[in-house]
Amino acid sequence: EVQLLQSAAEVRKPGESLKISCKASGFTFTSHWMGWVRQRPGKGLEWMGIIFPRDSDTKYNPSFRGQVTISADKSSDTAYLDWSSLKPSDTGIYYCARHPLDPFSDSSGYYYDFWGQGTMVTVSS
């Protein structure tokens, strides 16, 4: 059974750093692109970027490039999203999700077939 288990909710102050995780199981982690999606309170879904864990090839939405870092650890089948200096505008729920196929060699793999449960990040002084 495919599962994406995300780390627990976090509360931080502006300027602090944070790294949240997404532990994959039930599939070959290194064979699937993994994405991160933000949802601010009461708002829609924003695509942040994706990573291919086999070689850590990463692609960012230009709106998020330089604001976050996406990484992956093949040895633990875990994807990460981290911030070096949080802002109040980073408050929201962050979801990891799996592409069923490589979207760059098969464009039909662009969507997300499995999602994590989400990690709520609150940034407030």
Partner 1 sequence: EIVMTQSPATLSASPGERATLACRASQGVGSNLAWYQQQPGQAPRVLIYGASTRASGAPARFSGSGSGTEFTLTISSLQSEDFAVYYCQQYDNNWPPLFTFGPGTKVEMK
CB 33 within 8 A of CB 51: yes
**Contact flag: residue 27 with partner 1 (CB under 8 A):** no
Question: Shortest Cβ distance from residue 123 to partner 1 (Å)?
Answer: 21
Q: Which of 45, 55, 56, 74 binds partner 1 (CB under 8 A)?
A: 45
Q: Which stretch binds partner 1 (CB under 8 A): 12-20, 24-32, 55-63, 73-81?
A: 55-63
- What single-letter DSSP state applies at residue 7? P
Output the six-digit token pair for 25. Answer: 């199981």
State the virtual CA torsion across 63, 66, 70, 73 in degrees, nearest 10. 170
**Contact flag: residue 46 with partner 1 (CB under 8 A):** yes
Report CA-CA distances (Å) from 88 to 4, 16, 104, 113, 121. Answer: 26, 11, 34, 30, 10
Is the Cβ of residue 103 or residue 125 nearer to partner 1 in the bound state? 103
**Contact flag: residue 35 with partner 1 (CB under 8 A):** yes
- Cβ neighbours of 42 (radius 10 Å): 6
Q: Would you tell me which residues interact with partner 1 (CB under 8 A)?
A: 35, 37, 44-47, 50, 59-62, 95, 103-104, 107-108, 110-113, 115-118
